Chains A and B, each alone.
Chain A
Amino acid sequence: MPTRFFCRPFVALAALCFVLPFVARAQQSGIPQLPVRIGASARATIEHLADSLRSAGIPSDPIYDKAAEGVLKGADDARIVAATRSLAKELGAASLLLGPGASTSDVVSAASALRAGVPAPDIQRLGTRRIKSQATDGRLALSFIILADFASRGVPVDAAFIAVDGLLARGAGGAELTAFRSGVERDLLAGRDARATLTTRAEGVLKRK
């Protein structure tokens, strides 16, 4: 027997049913998923690593990215677990070096600098500068990124650190840091000496400031 429904509540109910999958999907998309190819044992290990990072307030997304990268590149489960374990260790170390209050981008970029060969005391020193200046504008993350980039290009890390630290100490902003990196990159491609160009470019950037 037909029941009389008023259209407005019925339409609202139908709209709610339509929207619910979006909400569920959006919530699900908040937590990264591991690729299905990864076996149960490796999956459990990686999830445990990610949970440990999350519970310590350390970003865990890079762990899932690393696992996905391994799957794409055809690595076996053991190699993927080793890579994620190594990355988790670097993220944890970076978080400890930077201290509480470091942003996600600071931690992730500091971890990449550690991996590239930037010494831990240098990371810590830059982190201390952040705490003193209470800077939250991304300059610290950019500094780590520049250091990691220079290190991966074979630029002497000690000289790179002195130049970047000096720029930060004299109030260089994101634009100056970016200009500094671009200038050094051009000089390196032109075959100039790395130590000399680091000093010249840092001074040039600060003069224009």
Chain B
Amino acid sequence: MRSNNEPDSDAEFAATPLLSDALHALKEPVAVRAEWRDSVLREIADLPRPQTERNGFALWRPISIRPLYAIAACLAAMVVGAVAATTVLRPSVLPAVANGNNGDANHGVESNAPVQLQTASAGHKTIRFALVAPGASHVSIVGDFNGWDPKATPMSFARDGNTWLVDMPLSVGRHLYAFVVDGDIVADPSAARVVDDDFGVQNSVVLVGAP
């Protein structure tokens, strides 16, 4: 609560001539020397710039670009995307490791039965296929899991110099497959075979167990 001796409002201060003059004086620009002002402005100009400006490119900064260039950039992105999509989404080529022994005269081919390695994902298991073909220069596996495409799943030469290997994630079920050795279709010597009465060429069968 205010006492009776205190002023009632700011108006009473303003009404005092001395205080009123002082307030007016404070509102006036301070007169400074031109040299001092220039010196202060130079110091402000020399201050280090913010981080984003020094980086040169920031996502939120506006840039100038001709519409033609913008369209060209979008087309370039589409071309790069198409190339990347073709590369990334093609049937996967899986890494391979292992060992084996030497082969015989019939294509120099021997094989170890497909081995189930692990569960790759729900309903899928990784199967290792191995074929001993020391004289071959290119071996791949084909089957109903890769559209019988000889380029889809090339096998890798193991360190022993004789065995070709590949690890394939296969869905649980019965899969028909064969090896392609230097362009010739070869059934897996170690796996159960079925006579393919459609095309007269034997396929091999691998059964991938239930989870």
A contact residues vs B (CB 8 Å cutoff): 1-8, 10-11, 13-15, 17-22, 24-26, 29, 32, 62, 64-66, 68-73, 75, 79, 82-83, 86, 105, 108-109, 112, 116, 137-139, 141-142, 145-146, 148-149, 152-153, 173-175, 177-178, 181
Contacts and interface: CB of A to CB of B under 8 A. Distances in A.
Q: Provide the main secondary structure of the chain A interface.
A: helix
B75 A79 contact: no
Contacts, number: 147
Interface string B108-135: 0000000000000001000000000000
Nearest to A66: B198
Given A137-B210, A149-B207, 14 more contacts: A3-B64, A7-B62, A10-B65, A13-B74, A21-B82, A22-B81, A65-B144, A69-B176, A69-B198, A71-B148, A82-B198, A105-B171, A174-B211, A178-B209
B67 to A, nearest CB: 6
Q: Provide the main secondary structure of the chain B interface.
A: mixed
A17 B198 contact: no
Given A72-B150, A105-B171, A79 B198 contact: yes
B78 A18 contact: yes
Interface size class of B (residues with CB under 8 A): 35 or more
Given A7-B60, A7-B63, A72-B142, A105 B70 contact: no
B185 A2 contact: no
A73 B201 CA distance: 7
A109 B174 contact: yes
B61 interface: yes
Interface in B33-69: 58-67
A20 B81 contact: yes
B194 A19 contact: no
B210 A20 contact: no
B199 to A, nearest CB: 4
A6 B62 contact: yes
Given A8-B59, A14-B74, A149-B205, A2 B174 contact: no
Q: Which residue of A66, A69, A82, A116 has the most chain B CB atoms within 10 A of its CB atom?
A: A69
B98 interface: no
Interface string B144-162: 1001111000000000000
B78 A69 contact: no
Q: Which residue of A73, A105, A178 has the most chain B CB atoms within 10 A of its CB atom?
A: A73
Given A32-B147, A69-B148, A112 B174 contact: yes
B62 A18 contact: no
Given A22-B89, A142-B210, A79 B63 contact: no
27 contacts: A6-B63, A8-B59, A11-B59, A13-B70, A17-B75, A17-B78, A18-B81, A21-B78, A25-B82, A25-B86, A65-B147, A68-B147, A69-B142, A69-B199, A72-B142, A72-B148, A83-B199, A137-B210, A138-B123, A142-B172, A142-B209, A149-B174, A149-B207, A153-B192, A174-B209, A178-B209, A181-B207
